[in-house]
Chains A and B, each alone.
Chain A
Amino acid sequence: MSTVVGVVVFPGTNCEMDAVEAVDRLGGEGRLLWHGDEDLGGVDAVIVPGGFAHGDYLRPGAIARFSPVMAGVAAFAAGGGPVLGICNGFQILTEAGLLPGALQKNSGLKFLCQPTTVRVETSNSVLTSRATVGVELSIPINHFEGNYTCDGETLARLIDGDRIVLRYTDNPNGSIDDIAGVCNEARNVVGLMPHPERACSELLGSADGAVLLGSLLDSGPVVVGLQDRR
């Protein structure tokens, strides 16, 4: 049975089909979830994809966090369900309080759309269970507000808890401690600015994202077996 991954669509989301395509190619089943529905329909994992949810008005993710689907995502995450936020999805998860910190504007004043190299810092997360610590992956970024920041106490907690999932090898945006992705304390919610769904085929220049999304697919059925499905 393949892992069903719900891909949340807000008005202004624009990476949902890339995510569905990547999940399908990896042997899962991508299924779109409309932001107005709180019910996740029994999916095994959730991706909050990239784009400009609700136009990014006020701040990226500020309005999206109040969409009905986010109550469902929060409950799913609280029950141990794997949740991945990519780019705008990462911003939404921080605004929703499912991940710590915030994404500020890139320090170099520019919108960045380029390949980056990220290093896997832990294999203990729903995004990196298939990956080896220390391995470097080529994954593209595409953002203006990807400069991860948090207070010193939060950063210490992330480091001590082995919750920095990915770091840039050549920090493109000024993120504190080169952070490209973090996870929550339970390790089932991960957010990252790079786009693994755009790096799942050599035709696109890199297939390195497959190990990350493949990990998410692995995490789905296992976690679902241990908790109540919504």
Chain B
Amino acid sequence: MKFTVLVDVRLRGGIADPAGATIERALPALGYDGVSGVGVGKTVRFTIEAVDLASARSQVDDLCSSFLTNPVIEDAVVTVTEDDGAG
């Protein structure tokens, strides 16, 4: 089975996020005064072959902890969805 994977890599709390801070500081100049907590991360998208959802999920978790994130400074939110075969 094929699964579409979305890995949302985020900086952990307390880790410097200069891109997020810069965007947040620019927003009032554009008239957006109520925006706070801006964080900039990255998204990694791919497809993976696995026997079932649990296996796909387990492989992606391993991939995240060993390569896609540095656990000292980053967390990942992973979304795994089964391909419907149409795409």
Residues of A participating in the B interface, judged by any CB pair closer than 8 Å: 58-59, 62, 66, 94-95, 101-102, 104-107, 109, 147, 149-151, 174
Contact = CB atoms under 8 A, between A and B. Distances in A.
A182 to B, nearest CB: 13
Contacts of B22: 109
A53 B16 CA distance: 22
Q: Is the interface of A mostly helix, strand, loop or mixed?
A: loop
Contacts of A59: 70, 74
B49 to A, nearest CB: 22
Closest 4 CB pairs of A and B: A109-B18, A102-B72, A102-B73, A105-B16
Nearest to B69: A59
B9 to A, nearest CB: 9
A105 B11 CA distance: 11
B18 A105 contact: yes
Contact of B72 (A62, A107, A149): A149
A94 B17 CA distance: 20
B30 interface: no
21 contacts: A59-B70, A59-B74, A62-B67, A62-B70, A94-B72, A101-B72, A102-B70, A102-B73, A104-B16, A104-B73, A105-B16, A106-B16, A106-B18, A107-B16, A109-B18, A147-B16, A149-B15, A149-B72, A150-B72, A151-B72, A174-B16
Contacts of A66: 67
